[in-house]
Structure 1
Amino acid sequence: MSTVKDRLTADMRAALKARDELTTSTLRMALAAIGNAEVAGKAKRELSDEEALAVLTKEAKKRREAAAAFADAGRVDQAAKERAEGEVLDRYLPRQLDDEALAGIVATALAEGGFTGKAQMGPAMKAAQAAVAGQAEGGRVAAEVRRQLGL
């Protein structure tokens, strides 16, 4: 079992004993998402820590988007619940880069690859995503790559 999954399970059990309903339900949901990812495809397999973190990142993004949608619809209580679930998931994710650090990493990745112009957007994104390594959302990375390529 991966260490991320072990930590989620242990924290879920602790939250269950402490009767912390929000944390318990959020961690159950996260473990279910990881379990679904493990059985997806042709053969059941154990996810690596990086793959488990990718699943958690996707779930946290879903919570942020749902919170924004509920807030726009005037459902403040539901938006607050989604934000709280996102905060629980954020405890398990790597710290996100600020805009200045992201710009520096993207600039280095683009310089090392010699990327210039619109035609090289795909390879430039691949290099930038590898350099960032999950410390920033793909949308932020894409926006920074576009800005630095002058698109």
Structure 2
Amino acid sequence: MIRDDIKAALVTSMKAGDKAGTAAIRLIQAAIKNRDIEARTGKAPDSDDALVVEVLQKMVKQRRESIELYRKGNREELAAAEEAEVAVIERFLPQQLSDAETAAAIDAIKAELSATGLKDMGRVMAELKARHGSVIDMGKASAAVKAALS
């Protein structure tokens, strides 16, 4: 389980004296704990790993947006710190599909659902997320689905 990997990485990081890595892993654990609390009142994902992957993907997305803003503001040192956190977070994410693999998955779902136009985009996206949600960047996939259907 990813949670166990994160706990083991925290211990390793602490023993190695890696303060930046330890801080990033503690941020991960805090975000997961917050998501656990939210899941008590709402619908929790079917598997624990799906919940953790969802949290990690959200964290990466937030940090990439921050990096972009820091670079626009000429704050390279803050952008570098965010990039270091992204590197730590991505260690725990499953390997993401390449652009070619994403396109192949979209084409397969498109053919399976007999999707022909943009009106079918919602169905294709829902099926794509159900099958490949943990290993695909849904933001990039949305643009690819739109291009494939138009």
Normalising by structure 1, what TM-score? 0.90
Equivalent residue runs for 1:19-58 within 5 Å? 19-43=17-41, 48-58=48-58
Q: Which has the higher contact order (CA 8 A, sep 6+)?
A: 2
Percent of aligned positions with the same letter in both sequences? 31
Q: How far did residue 41 of structure 1 move?
A: 5.0
Task: Note the alpha carbon deviations across 1:56-113, whole angstroms, 9 max, x for none.
Answer: 1111111111111111110000000001100111111111222111111100011111
| Structure 1 alignment gaps of length 5 or more | none
Normalising by structure 2, what TM-score? 0.91
In the alignment, does 2:148 pair up with 1:148?
yes
Q: Say if 1:23 and 1:88, in contact at 8 Å, map to a contact too.
A: yes
- Give the Cα separation in 1 of the matches to 2:119 and 2:41: 37
Q: How far did residue 134 of structure 1 move?
A: 2.0
In the alignment, does 2:117 pair up with 1:134?
no
Cross-structure match for 1:74? 74
Task: Note the alpha carbon deviations across 1:4-52, whole angstroms, 9 max, x for none.
Answer: 11211111111111110111000000000000011115559x9711111
CA RMSD of aligned residues (A): 1.9
- Give the Cα separation in 1 of the matches to 2:122 and 2:41: 30
Equivalent residue runs for 1:103-142 within 5 Å? 103-142=103-142
Q: Say if 1:110 and 1:128, in contact at 8 Å, map to a contact too.
A: no
| Structure 2 alignment gaps of length 5 or more | none
Q: Say if 1:109 and 1:131, in contact at 8 Å, map to a contact too.
A: no
